[in-house]
């Protein structure tokens, strides 16, 4: 190679290095934008996933109680036993009382599930309140009081405290369905 050829080659090399460095900077900038866009996309996916989990959880809570209500309400023998045990001042036979306690405990496990999910933020507190309103509706009934004395310790302590607060509220809720057919109608239903 001649002297002028070498000089030309030397002139090209720094130019090539500068060009490659520029390309590297451009690639770094593009890579940074790609990372930011990826993070935005992942954040949107996580948000969508969290919303889907909340919706599924709310549905699961509702379906559990719906199944319980349908099971109690569609079987005449079960309905009669549940009604009798819930409204009776006296405990029934050991077998009937056991069956009643298990039925009501099934509902309370669903209530507890809604409470715990609301505490975690998986379902909203308004849904929990709507679901557990059934507890307030039966709080004065003898069977409920018997159940609570016997089964409270089998539940999550935070949920048990929550139910105790519901039971202590000075709210009279008329649930006419549990009234004796010979009883007078409640004042708010006249």
Rounded CA separation 118/159 (Å): 11
pLDDT of residue 186: 46
pLDDT of residue 92: 93
CA angle 115, 120, 121 (to 5 degrees): 95
Contact 65, 120 (CB under 8 A): no
pLDDT of residue 34: 77
pLDDT of residue 60: 81
> CA of 96: how far to CAs of 35, 57, 78, 85, 100, in Å?
64, 33, 10, 8, 6
pLDDT of residue 175: 61
Mean pLDDT of successive 10-residue stretches along the chain, which has 190 residues: 57 58 80 78 70 74 85 93 94 94 95 92 87 90 95 96 92 62 46
pLDDT of residue 119: 92
3-class SS string, the chain: CCHHHHHHHHHHHHHHHHHHHHHHHHHHHHHHHHHHHHHHHHHHHHHHHHHHHHHHHHHHHHHHHHHHHHHHHHCHHHHHHHHHHHHCCCCCCHHHHHHHHHHHHHHHHHHHHHHHHHHHCCCCHHHHHHHHHHHHHHCCCHHHHHHHHHHHHHCCHHHHHHHHHHHHCCCCCCCHHHCCCCCCCCHHHC
pLDDT of residue 153: 96
Contact 87, 141 (CB under 8 A): yes
Rounded CA separation 82/78 (Å): 6
17 burial type by CB count under 10 A (0-12 exposed, 13-18 middle, 19+ buried)? exposed
pLDDT of residue 46: 67
């Amino acid at each position: 190679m001649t002297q002028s050829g070498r000089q030309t080659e030397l002139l090209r090399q720094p130019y090539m290095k500068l060009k490659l460095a520029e390309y590297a900077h451009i690639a770094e900038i593009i890579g940074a934008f790609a990372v930011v866009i990826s993070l935005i996309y992942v954040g949107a996916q996580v948000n969508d996933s969290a919303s889907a989990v909340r919706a599924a959880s709310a549905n699961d809570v509702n379906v559990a109680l719906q199944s319980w209500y349908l099971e109690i309400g569609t079987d005449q023998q079960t309905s009669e036993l549940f009604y009798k045990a819930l409204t009776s001042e006296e405990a029934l036979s050991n077998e009937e009382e056991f069956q009643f306690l298990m039925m009501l405990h099934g509902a309370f496990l669903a209530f507890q599930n809604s409470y715990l999910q609301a505490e975690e933020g998986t379902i909203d507190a308004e849904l929990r309140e709507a679901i557990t309103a059934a507890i307030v509706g039966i709080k004065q009934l003898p069977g409920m009081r018997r159940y609570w004395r016997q089964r409270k310790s089998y539940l999550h302590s935070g949920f048990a405290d929550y139910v105790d607060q519901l039971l202590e509220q000075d709210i009279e809720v008329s649930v006419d369905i549990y009234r004796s057919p010979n009883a007078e109608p409640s004042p708010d239903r006249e």
